[in-house]
A and B are shown apart, each in its own frame.
Chain A
């Protein structure tokens, strides 16, 4: 039981954290159509998070609810990939301020959705039929997110000198975080063994193919990744997550007995 819960929380935290990040563009997009597109991506992710948290809450029983799981767990309890909590700009410390960079947003959405089209597809065969149903819905959404981000990735890479430089910088910054995808966590291993989850390592070739193909079309260079592998899915995060959650959870926590 707790195997499925841990795994569901990993998937849900991924969705809510990236949904929160992508919604930051609402009202600030580079062109009105992109405000709407990013809002769509964000809505899909928040919708996925809700279904996954609801499923986890059902399995947990007691007074667990989707909002308790999203709003009343601390950063160290979150199991999302570190990649997804990073702000929309280059590498800076947690309390540094910087303008948002759309190339960072697009590259991140691309790297993540290129994984999720494979992961959700595999999860449509999960032994947890509820999760399989969520996956069937989510794989369609991830396919749209992949198309959207890939289209822009190619435009940036093969656009102007500036857009190429921005896209390459974002790739160089973010690519090392994707190593976390392939280092199986205990929760993932247990879920895969139970038939609930997927052994992520089996998805790597498919992901590599999508990434290499898009980078080639975008004339971007794939950097080599060495050294530290992030461990957000183990609860060990970057400096950025507690800021993100501090904001996201502030109102709910200020009124713990409120109803919304």
Chain B
């Protein structure tokens, strides 16, 4: 899954784009030319510090989102209502963990270690997608997250497959394939439930009602309030604006909701013939920012759970290191 990501500064980070004027003008000119020609930047290439920092922030936020995102859906693994759905859900949550792994690896090519990034997450400095700070209250949430949250993630991430930074773009190609699989599985699970009992249908509608607005907010603040977007566009890190992506998502989702037989909880949602797009109502940005700032319904639970897993696992990682060290010493002794 994904994230409003790089529109949201990490704690203590200035939102103004760093001016590149301190960089070597010749290298800078070559870099700009590569970007303008839509070329790829690879790890060994020179890049301006601000570009590197922006990417580390964005990729690590994305990685953290995948890892934290395992928790809300993981919440239903033990109670999945059939063995088939249990297996699908375990595989999905496992995929999200795999996305976290490739993304941490992509960010490591920029010279920041996984430990440093995890430190950022655990200390509360680094952000992750705020969508995961809402609770999964029923089984239908699992389907709705697949359909809408993974769906919004795909909208956000498809353009990133053309991101100017090679390792990130390549990771995104693989991730996007799996996210679209998740989306189809989530939607299919809901279709089956909508053919079931009245209680099941009500469960689906309730979940849609709770997640719809949160998903719209996933695309990040309106373009007018997105300080990082212009620089991101310039660098080929961002390709399509928040509002355009959000519009695309709304337009794609409305017919899917109709087929499913649920209503989207927005009285202002309607087709606009002149714009050839759907109009939609006001997103509650105050609520969004409260949650981004750490004061949503599950922020503390999500973060503390990650921190606890990490701390509880310290002895396991220590054991692996100690054993590897002993093995190495034994090998040296044997060779001597």
Chain A interface residues toward B at CB < 8 A: 16, 20, 23-24, 26-36, 39-40, 42-43, 46-47, 49-50, 53, 66-67, 70-71, 99-100, 102, 154-156, 158-160, 162-163, 166, 247-248, 250-252, 255, 257-260
Contacts and interface: CB of A to CB of B under 8 A. Distances in A.
Contacts of A158: 323, 326
Chain A contact residues: over half helix, strand or loop, or mixed? helix
Contacts of A31: 313, 316-317
Highest count of chain B CB atoms <10 Å: which of A26, A28, A33, A43: A26
B87 A50 contact: yes
Nearest to B321: A159
Given A49-B83, A158-B323, A255-B200, A32 B94 contact: no
A28 to B, nearest CB: 4
A50 B83 contact: yes
Contacts of B84: 50, 260
Contact of B200 (A43, A252, A258): A258
Interface of B: 67, 70-71, 74, 77-87, 90-91, 93-94, 97-98, 100-101, 104, 139, 189, 192-193, 195-197, 199-200, 305, 308-309, 312-320, 322-323, 326
A163 B78 contact: no
Contacts of A258: 81, 193, 196-197, 199-200
5 contacts: A24-B78, A27-B70, A27-B93, A46-B90, A155-B319
Given A155-B319, A159-B319, A26 B90 contact: yes
Given A39-B97, A250-B79, A251-B79, A30 B196 contact: no
B196 A259 contact: yes
A252 to B, nearest CB: 5
Contacts, number: 144
A156 B74 CA distance: 27
B79 A163 contact: no
Given A66-B83, A155-B320, 4 more contacts: A159-B318, A160-B315, A251-B80, A258-B199
Contacts of A66: 83
Please provide the 9 A-B residue pairs with the shortest distance between their CB atoms, ordered closest to farther: A30-B313, A159-B319, A163-B319, A30-B316, A39-B94, A27-B74, A27-B70, A155-B323, A260-B82
A39 B87 CA distance: 10
A70 B80 CA distance: 12
A46 B83 contact: yes
Given A53-B83, A154-B323, A259-B195, A42 B313 contact: no
Given A43-B87, A252-B81, A255-B200, A160 B70 contact: no
B32 to A, nearest CB: 36
Contacts of B87: 43, 46-47, 50
A46 B288 CA distance: 38
A55 B67 CA distance: 37
